[in-house]
Amino acid sequence: MAIIDGNFDPLQIGPFGSYYMAARLSNPIDKVYEAAKLWPDNAIDCLVSIGMGQPVASSSKQQDQYLALISETDETAKNFARAHQALVSGHGYFRYTPSDPNIIGFNTTSEASARVASLAAQSKV
């Protein structure tokens, strides 16, 4: 999976500007909440966290890296949920971990950008 490589081009996310994706930055949930503190008048009402799914059985260095990254992102999500119980108990935090990571996978940054832009267009921004 490309997310392990960390070799993504900049990703234009609708009206939100350009972002870079790389391994170890694949679960930005704490950074999102940290950034929200800079604009306290714009509270986070709903946050959707998308997990990386369950890997298919294989033995390779990339598979081992993927398993470690899944474990790390899941632990980050659990820690966030514990630290922000008000958001969780108020039904404002949702964690989705697909059984098949290809369900939400992006083959290219342009595909990812198109999907995120579509979601942004359907949401209040």
- pLDDT attached to residue 6: 45
How many angstroms separate the CA atoms of 18 and 98, rounded? 26
> Which stretches of the chain drop beneath a pLDDT of 50?
1-8, 20-24, 125
Beta-sheet pairing, 93-96 with 47-50: parallel
Tokens 């632990």 appear where?
A: 75
How many angstroms separate the CA atoms of 50 and 30, rounded? 14
